[in-house]
Amino acid sequence: MKIALAAKSVYPFHPFGGVQKYVYYFAKALTRKGVDVEIIAPLDDGPARTETYEGLKYTFIRPAIYKYLEYPVGWLGVHLFSWSLSRYLKNKDFDLLHAFDMAGYAYLKRQSRKPVVVQVFTDNYLSNPITLKDTANLIASGFKKIKEEKVRITPFSSGAVKRRYLPQYLFKIKPMYSCFNDGDRIFFEDEIFHQEVRELYRLKEDKGAVVPVGVDIRAVDDQLKEEGITRGKLGLKSDDIVLISVNRLAADKGIDKIVLALEALRKKDDRLKLLIVGSGYQEKELLEIIRQKGLEAHVRHYKNVPEEKLYHYYNICDIYICAFSFPGSSISTLEAMACSLPVITTAQPWLVREGENGVVLNSNSPQAIERAVAELTARGGLKERGRISREIVAGFDWAPIAERALEQYKELVT
């Protein structure tokens, strides 16, 4: 079976986060099962080309859009890539297109086409609450607050809502609805989101399937066998209580909320430290908060950690924190669990089993995070909670996830 995987940005060629790593690890898992996979993405810094990376075939086509994907104008870039992808696939030999978010929009309009799977993540069926009036203010402020909130806009929203958020409705929500209706199958990261999107967009239930975000447990274990970073190398003490969050530095990820929680926590226990791994448009703002709050000695920031070294950073920590502004999957949370860390999360209740391996928060406010950290450290038994995390995450290995997707593919191509 020949599968075309199309995404607006991919690991390791573009600035990446969880979705980009999803495509990479998912493709590797499919390849191990004998599937012929081609990953198709917009240009990076190089020319249009096809190349092989770690056994995976990557094809890069015009345009290059990665530099502005974080901004509202990024929707327009995805449309340009969508039309370019449709032209590229016109004479290609393949069996099925698996398109992430709106990448398959233009191809789905072709009268003669192959089956298409549309995969959507939470961040893409909701919208930034940006009105036409707000846009100029955002440009002037350097987009510091984009994505901190999300609004639910659908073709069934009131006319007033559509007019208020007209750019999002025309360039994101309406095309996404078209992808949902025209696609042959829709993949969701969890049943929670399957039901939410089905209700919001009034979709047929039999179109949806759950194909979760996963983690390459074998890769984690292999890396942890190698010599890696230690607490001593980072200037941390053996009795420090080390928190970690690995994410893009964007407003919706809530890293600033974790830093503000740390300010209050360390006044009660000076052993608390925080590792932040990641880069993004919010970096300057975060570093300023750390400086203003006098937390330089308590926070370590690493923005270019190679994938093969990343797991050692989790491994020297005590608690992982995911402080998203809205629910959604997180590869980094799964990676932390694979490294036997308890978790505090606002976004993935399905990963916390009756509180045994962590805490689920209803809010990413600094106060809520502060209470959760204090609760976990007071309870003790962090190693045992981490062991339970590892037990839970075994059900999210990429091999069975790829098998689940392959079953769906076979239904569509036969």
The pLDDT value given to residue 115: 98
* Of 412 and 72, the one with more pLDDT: 412
Q: Is the pLDDT of residue 414 over 90?
A: no
Per-residue pLDDT band at 62 (split at 50, 70, 90): very high
Question: pLDDT, tens digit, for every residue of 17-54?
Answer: 899 999 999 999 999 999 999 999 999 999 999 999 99
User: What is the number of domains present in the chain?
Assistant: 2
Residues 175 and 247 in one domain: no
Q: Is the pLDDT of residue 5 over 60?
A: yes
The pLDDT value given to residue 209: 96
- HSE, CB side, 13 Å, CA atoms: give it for residue 236: 23
The pLDDT value given to residue 122: 85
User: Is the separation of the CB atoms in 145 and 138 below 8 Å?
Assistant: yes
CATH code, 311: 3.40.50.2000
The pLDDT value given to residue 3: 98
Helix (H, G, I), strand (E, B) or coil at 12: coil
Residues 248 and 326 in one domain: yes
Q: Is the pLDDT of residue 144 over 70?
A: no
CA geometry: angle 406, 8, 255, nearest 5 deg: 100
The pLDDT value given to residue 142: 54
The pLDDT value given to residue 137: 62
Residues 405 and 376 in one domain: no
Residues 273 and 301 in one domain: yes
The pLDDT value given to residue 353: 92
Per-residue pLDDT band at 304 (split at 50, 70, 90): confident
What DSSP string runs through 241-291? EEEEEES---GGG-HHHHHHHHHHHHHH-TTEEEEEE---TTHHHHHHHHH
Range of the domain at 223: 217-395
What DSSP string runs through 137-187? HHHHHTTTTTTSS-B---TTS-HHHHHHTHHHIIIIIHHHHHHHHH-SEEE
The pLDDT value given to residue 132: 66
Residues 283 and 383 in one domain: yes
Question: pLDDT, tens digit, for every residue of 83-113?
Answer: 999 999 999 999 999 999 999 999 999 999 9
The pLDDT value given to residue 16: 84
Q: Is the pLDDT of residue 68 over 90?
A: no
The pLDDT value given to residue 201: 94
Per-residue pLDDT band at 140 (split at 50, 70, 90): low
Residues 404 and 356 in one domain: no
The pLDDT value given to residue 206: 85
Per-residue pLDDT band at 168 (split at 50, 70, 90): confident
Residues 226 and 207 in one domain: no
Question: Which amino acid is present at 24?
Answer: Y
Residues 129 and 184 in one domain: yes
CA–CA gap between residue 409 and residue 407 (Å, rounded):
5
Question: pLDDT, tens digit, for every residue of 327-341?
Answer: 899 999 999 999 999
Most confident of 142-146, 223-227, 315-319: 315-319
Averaged pLDDT for residues 3-17: 95
Per-residue pLDDT band at 259 (split at 50, 70, 90): very high
Residues 237 and 278 in one domain: yes
Q: Is the pLDDT of residue 371 over 80?
A: yes
Residues 104 and 180 in one domain: yes
The pLDDT value given to residue 124: 80
- Please give the share of the chain, as a percent, with pLDDT higher than 70: 96
Q: Is the pLDDT of residue 237 over 90?
A: yes
Residues 319 and 361 in one domain: yes
Q: Is the pLDDT of residue 60 over 90?
A: yes
Residues 150 and 21 in one domain: yes
